[in-house]
Structure 1
Amino acid sequence: MAKHYRLDPPDVDFERIARFFEGRKEKDVRRELTAVKTAADEVNKEMLARARNILLNALNDMRTKQIKDCLPTDLVDELMVKLYEAKQKRFLISEACHEHYR
């Protein structure tokens, strides 16, 4: 997710993660990792929604300015409609952690 949003990825110590789950049953590990993935998916969904709203607001501001300047708004209108109607892209979280424990 960090790469997707062009953020510096955190240093992940997979050995530390492995020690954390050491001795636990596979189903418990899967449940924990599923909870982490679900939380990451929710964060991603919220970030996408906010980014979409920021873009719609910016386009609306541009449209308002074009109306004030007596300029056509066709292109901005089309972009706004496409963005509004676009299906939310689902960003999939890597299952590298899951593979580590199989």
Structure 2
Amino acid sequence: MKKVVISIISVALLAGCSSSLPSQYTCESDQSFEAMLTSDLAIIRFNGEEKELPRIRSASGVQYQSDRGNTGFYGKGNEAMLVWGDITLRECELQ
């Protein structure tokens, strides 16, 4: 229950912010996205949209994925990949 309350507070604080999310990633295609990662949730901003993704179990690194599986963030260290519907951003690096 405590984790849920902390996640809700974090999301509520971010909802009131129009500024950038804490982390910026730049990808091989010269596209970029912003992300805030917590132990339970990722908030991703890309192409003028913002989505919240729950964390899922992974063998290595971190994975956050929508229930439908059409949006996901996959990261390890400073490297990441973003799947946003039909768009896949590969070889993304934390700036």
Range into which the TM-score falls when normalised by the shorter chain: under 0.3
Structure showing greater radius of gyration is 1
Tell me the TM-score normalised to structure 2 length. Answer: 0.22
Say which structure is richer in strand: 2
Say which structure is richer in helix: 1
Relative contact order higher in (CA < 8 Å, ≥ 6 apart): 1
Tell me the TM-score normalised to structure 1 length. Answer: 0.21
